[in-house]
Amino acid sequence: MQPRHRFAHNLLQARLKADISQAELAARCQLHRTEISLLERGGREPRLGTIVKLAGALGTTPGRLCAGIAWLPRAGRFELSEPD
């Protein structure tokens, strides 16, 4: 699994918890609905500004959207885990 797939899972769960459609989330973030779809499928890695917009629109934090993603500098790789 790649970091963008963990992010995708977190994003989808946050959107479902907020009980809004992809179109509504896109409108709140000033993004296109297809961008939301790509992010939720792990087809695209989000930029920092996009993460901040998504978190604000969903009433959560960027940290929660990135939960379960860590960088291991000595190993030079990401570590992915189930978010709390």
What residue segments make up the domains of the chain, in order of their start?
3-80
Question: At CB < 8 A and 24+ separation, what contacts does 20-28 make?
Answer: 25/54, 25/57, 25/58, 28/57
Q: What is the pTM of this model?
A: 0.92
pLDDT at 44: 93
What is the dotted CATH code of the domain comprising 3-80? 1.10.260.40
- For the record, the structure tokens of 3 come out as 């970091």
| Residue written as token pair 């934090």 | 61
**Residue 84, pLDDT above cutoff 70:** no
Residue 82 pLDDT: 81
pLDDT digits (tens, 9 = 90+) for 58-82: 999 999 999 999 999 999 999 998 8
Instruction: List beta partners, residue 79.
Output: 70
What's the pLDDT tens digit per position in 17-33? 999 999 999 999 999 99
* Residue that has been written with the tokens 């994003």 in this structure: 11
Question: Residue 72 carries which DSSP code?
Answer: E
Rounded to whole angstroms, how far apart are CA atoms 55 and 73?
A: 26
